[in-house]
Amino acid sequence: MPPRAVDIAPAVADMVVSLLLAREDPTGNWRHTDTFGFVLIVLINLPLLARRRAPVAVLFVMLALQVWFIALGYWPVVNSLGSLLALYTVASQRPVRIAAAGIAAVGAVWIYAGLAADGGSMVTVVAQILTVPPVVCWFGTAARRLGERNAQLALLTAKLAREQEARARRAVTDERVRIARELHDVVAHHVSVISVQAGLAEYVITSDPPTAQAALHTIGETTREALDEMRRMLLLLRADPEDMDAVRVPGPDRPAADDTMDPAPGLARLDDVVRRIRAAGVAVAIRRVGIARPLSSGVELCAYRIVQEALTNVLKHARTARVELTVEYEPTRLRIAVCDDGGEPDSDATPQTRNSGRIGGASGHGLIGMSERARLYGGTFSAGPRPEGGFEVGLVLPIPAEPGTSGGKVVGAGDT
């Protein structure tokens, strides 16, 4: 692997400085640098090109060549910068114990140079050994730790990016499931009502024209409401957040009465659902208990969809049943129950088969969707046959504590 520019530049700079120092007159009894001395200086500093790939080997090779350089009587100060650069590289890439061994090796060479000098001060040499190499190693160790922290930060950044990507994929999946659940609730309810009313209109179109006309009117209303809900859902999916306000502002090509951006349905629209189910031939009574008060849009939509799905299941599986819908506001909970008596048995089905068909929805999208909605808002959901006959769907959702009786509308227990 060829040396990089980051390795070549320091090695070349150190070699130039060493060659320039060699041109100076040495102090003491050191010999002047001759041609062989300059060649030896180049050889001593040449291993610095490989200092990042083999820092320990480079350091000890340089120190060994320096010992030879000193033994020949050349001035040892000439190559001091190169050995310190090699020592810095060892400290920046190897553990502290190896860097300490490097300090000891550099100190031993410096002591040898001090002993070889004529009239040199060993106190000065020892002082230099105790200050310069440790400081160089300290900077190298700091650089190594900074590099390790940067590597850890890079790993954490990559991990965070992977986690964000995974969360984004989960969010997309959750959103798809939510949209599928919304579409299922809208389509299943409205199409069930339309199917029943179409069958009724076809059956009585000649014998009872007023009833057929009423059924066709219900089909028209149900179709328009289904289209409005689907249009609102699709518009929310297509629109950018910054464009939402512009969508709501009436313009010359958009009448103010456009209701495609109306809020999601809530408990206030249960009467519309009940009316459609009644028009399809199912007897439904509403019983409201407690103080009705505004709830979050999510809780309202959750309760509305579960009631809508429960009544649609009655329409599909127990059309002759009588249903009681109970909406009860407690101080910290909203209770909803949809109970039916099972109705009259069909000629080709028993109550057990009718109930098993409704419970079978738990393996599909119906009851599972209702259970997931309840769980999303911290509530509990139950569905199953009643001991006295029929079927019951129950929902309990936590709601904010009731602020007081003056803030709500007291609803009679017998409200239908």
pLDDT (tens digit per residue) in 309-320: 899 888 888 878
The pLDDT tens digits for 370-385 are 888 888 888 999 999 9
Q: In sequence order, which residues have a C-beta less than 8 Å from that of residue 16 and are 6 or more positions away? A: none
- Measure Cα distances from 246 to 128, 257, 314, 382 in Å: 76, 15, 41, 42
Residues 341 and 318: their CA atoms lie apart, in Å, by 9
- pLDDT given at position 214: 83
pLDDT at 238: 56
pLDDT of residue 317: 82
Take residue 37 and report the two structure tokens written for it. 């001395």
DSSP structure class, residue 1:
-
Q: Which residues contact 181 (CB under 8 A, 6 or more apart)?
A: 305, 365, 369, 372, 373
pLDDT at 266: 84
pLDDT of residue 36: 92
DSSP per-residue letters across 366-396: HHHHHHHHHHHTT-EEEEEE-TTSSEEEEEE
What is residue 159's predicted lDDT score, i.e. its pLDDT?
A: 93
**Contact call for residues 273 and 308 (beta carbons, < 8 A):** yes
Q: What is the pLDDT along the chain (416 residues), one digit of tens a residue?
A: 456 666 788 888 888 888 888 888 777 778 888 899 899 999 999 999 888 889 999 999 999 999 999 999 898 888 888 899 999 999 999 999 999 999 999 999 999 988 887 766 788 888 988 999 999 999 999 999 998 899 999 999 999 999 988 888 887 777 667 666 666 666 777 777 788 888 888 888 888 888 888 888 888 887 877 777 777 666 655 555 444 444 444 444 444 444 445 566 888 889 988 988 888 888 999 999 988 888 887 888 889 889 988 998 888 888 788 999 999 999 899 999 999 988 775 544 444 444 444 544 434 457 777 888 888 888 999 999 988 888 999 999 998 876 554 444 444 445 55
Q: What is the pLDDT of residues 95-147, one digit of tens each?
A: 999 999 999 999 999 999 888 877 667 888 889 889 999 999 999 999 999 98
Q: What is the pLDDT of residue 227?
A: 78
Q: What pLDDT score was predicted for residue 301?
A: 85
The answer to whether 60 and 15 are in contact (CB under 8 A) is no
Determine the Cα–Cα distance for residues 53 and 302; give it in Å rounded to an integer: 64
Write down the pLDDT at residue 360.
40
